[in-house]
Structure 1
Amino acid sequence: MTSSRTLYQTISDGLKKDYPDTEAQSIAFWILEHFLQVKRGDIIQDKKLEHVPQSLYTAIDELQTGKPIQYILEEAPFYGRDFKVNPSVLIPRNETEELVHLILQENPKGGIRIMDIGTGSGCIPITLYLEMPQPEVFAIDISQKALHIARTNALKLNAKVTFSAVDILTDPIPARELDILVSNPPYVRELEKAYMHKNVLEHEPSLALFVSDADPLIFYRTIATKGLEALKQGGKLYFEINEAFASEMEQLISDLGYQQVTVHQDLQGKARILSGLKS
């Protein structure tokens, strides 16, 4: 018999050299729940464990190499649901949940047409489909591997989303008369790599993260420009943005002719979301 409390302590202590204390503790809870169905309350009560699978120890070894827990377990939570992920897609972030929440708050009516550009795991369009009344939802990505994951998630979660392989830098947006155009495109400059955690740099897809230092707004400018053709009058544009370029983004989108351009702060007080209206 193994003590669940002792096992939890062993796991969290072993992770603290690579992760902050609170993150190490959260990962330890997550591992025990995933592999042993042991909840936080079970650990507090020191539930005894008859068998600990080798796969749990393998996961701990992988964590200590810097591999993110979400890729090890092949799932990540987003807006109350679990999405399948692997290294071909970005791990969904809390900031992107805030982007989705803003869209839901500002667009309560039913039957609207939505396009997500650079969909990755599909977490944005799938969540919008499931949370909105009868929307028509489209999503594109340049990566076939990412689209496979997105389609898998849509099937798993019973979401009707039309996915297409499109290179937004060279191809037109494959839909018209859209009510909402949303994107969380690559926005991390190459020079910012020096400040990033190794588990992001070594494991998450560079294609979905980084832009050149010479033209960091290329995706925003391209999407917003093509959005003028794809959006209907009164349609809305939503971006997740790099806080370092909030003022430049606001100017760029305004200069293209969008109205009511607004930069929204996330829960950390960072300029993280931009919205605009095609008037």
Structure 2
Amino acid sequence: MPSLLTIDDLDDNDLRHLVARGAEFSAGATAREVLSDKVVGIYFRKTSTRTRTAFSAGALRLGAQIVSYGPDDLQENTGETTGDTAAALSGMLDVLVARTAGPQAELVSYAAQGRMAVVNAMSEDEHPTQALTDLTTMHRHFGAVEGLRVLYVGEGNNTTSALALALSRFAGVELHLRTPEGYGLDPRFLHRAEVSAKHSGAKVVECHDMRDRPTVDVVYTTRWQTTGTAKPDPHWRAAFAPFQVDERVLGDAPVFMHDLPAHRGEEVTATVLDGPRSIAFAQAENKFHSARAVLEWCAR
């Protein structure tokens, strides 16, 4: 069973399949119980509302049994190595959905056992299942991902890195990243996205100010403090203030997206988040549909 640790684990066909399949589920397609003889582990070290519920409900809807682990449940807390933990779990689980919020190397260690599929439900570096949800939402709303123009506003966090890796694979896409100075996308991910964009005919551009914003189809932001992280600069809010999404920043864009949870009055105003162009809560529901697509893909 294949693992999904990063968007780069997916070839172009797999990426497009998962986006389209998530959109099919979102439109009401019926799922077969392809996991009826499988056991899925749900391991979350950090808080989660949407991702944990989406994968738990998704596994159950596909016929699996689930075993849930909280942050204090595994012997890693007593010094067992990640590799030994994974070796033990792989004899009992078919899939492990894991949110570590730690380095990507941890998830690589989980997947090294080669028997149990591992799904990255958010690491320090990348949130690939969020990107699949985002593209599923765009596909569902616009009918295709190709050719879309997206303005991402805010911190270059793990959601942004996955979004850049995914969108840069679709022809004609423009991804404009507007991030505060010192809080941009990790150069490793920006470079990977730029390389993908050259092959696909997409465009990825990052700027650190809000001047001369492009005309876009989607304005997207995330909360300013990523789960489990803190900023070393006590005055960081001053740098982020110009990047709040309000009606002026939204402009004529037909759609606003947010991965949630949101903090009204910080990264986005209430009038935008709760306004008629916001599809943030449809996006949240699509986490469930996308999770089913991912789990179905793991069981192929």
TM-score bracket, normalised by the shorter chain, equals 0.3 to 0.5
The normalised TM-score by structure 2 is: 0.44
Computing the radius of gyration from Cα coordinates, the structure with the larger value is 1
The normalised TM-score by structure 1 is: 0.46
Higher normalized strand content (fraction of residues): 1
